Amino acid sequence: MNPSPLRVAAVIFPGFEVLDFFGPVELLSLPANAFSINTVAEREGAVQSAQGPRVMAERALSQSADYDLVLVPGGVGTRTEVANPVLLEWLRQAERSARFVASVCTGSALLARAGLLDGRRATSNKIAFDWVASQGSAVRWERRARWVEDGKFFTSSGVSAGMDMTLGLIAHILGRGAADDAARRAEYLWHDDAASDPFAAATGPQPS
């Protein structure tokens, strides 16, 4: 008997980054029957992205915090959401039952502000790295990493790096073959060296 799909909460909020969200969601949809994905926001209904298009949130934060995988994108909206007590408390509750928690880009700022990354290794968007790092002084931030795996937490660098991290997460859960197959089906060249982000040296420290 096939195992049940892992329940994924793909979190959205005003000003989320579309590729942070849709890149990982696309890749998670490719392994057959492995993941069941729902969009989750503070309230049900349309949520405007940083790029303008709106995405429908199927579920509200108040409905459930019981998921196997929590996926948190970044985007300019994180600058506001780091002070949103409703979202931060939901992340704390969701983390308790989740098998995996993943963030893309500045989404790790939300995990850091919720206290979920304290004492753990993590990374984020290199251009906004200093601002993100300021959200969690107890986090062991890694500037050069493309993505970081620490226990059940997966955090990635900026935007497209979320796809590399997601393939790493798929490999962790389902095996390398499943990740390679997802990359092939998406016609995506996987940057599979988690420790090296080619954009780290080019950006360097930036003002917050």
Using pLDDT thresholds of 50, 70 and 90, give the confidence band for residue 203. Answer: low
Each residue's pLDDT tens digit, 9-57: 999 999 999 999 999 999 999 999 999 999 999 999 999 999 999 999 9
Classified as helix, coil or strand, 203 is helix
Return the domain boundaries, the chain: 6-203
pLDDT at position 202 is 61
- Could you please state the CATH topology (level 3) that the domain comprising 6-203 is classified under: Rossmann fold (3.40.50)
Nearest Cα residue to 57 out of 99, 100, 98, 90: 90
- Rounded to an integer, what distance in angstroms lies between the CA atom of residue 105 and that of residue 126? 8
Residue ranges of alpha helices (H) inside the chain are: 18-28, 78-81, 85-97, 107-113, 129-133, 161-174, 176-186, 200-203
- Rounded to an integer, what distance in angstroms lies between the CA atom of residue 18 and that of residue 5? 24
Each residue's pLDDT tens digit, 126-164: 999 999 999 999 999 999 999 999 999 999 999 999 999
* pLDDT of residue 1 exceeding 60: no
pLDDT at position 118 is 98
* pLDDT of residue 194 exceeding 70: yes
Each residue's pLDDT tens digit, 84-121: 999 999 999 999 999 999 999 999 999 999 999 999 99
- Rounded to an integer, what distance in angstroms lies between the CA atom of residue 65 and that of residue 55? 20
pLDDT at position 207 is 37
pLDDT > 90 fraction of the chain, expressed in percent and rounded: 92
- Rounded to an integer, what distance in angstroms lies between the CA atom of residue 58 and that of residue 33? 20
- Rounded to an integer, what distance in angstroms lies between the CA atom of residue 142 and that of residue 20? 19
pLDDT at position 136 is 97
Mean pLDDT score of the chain: 95
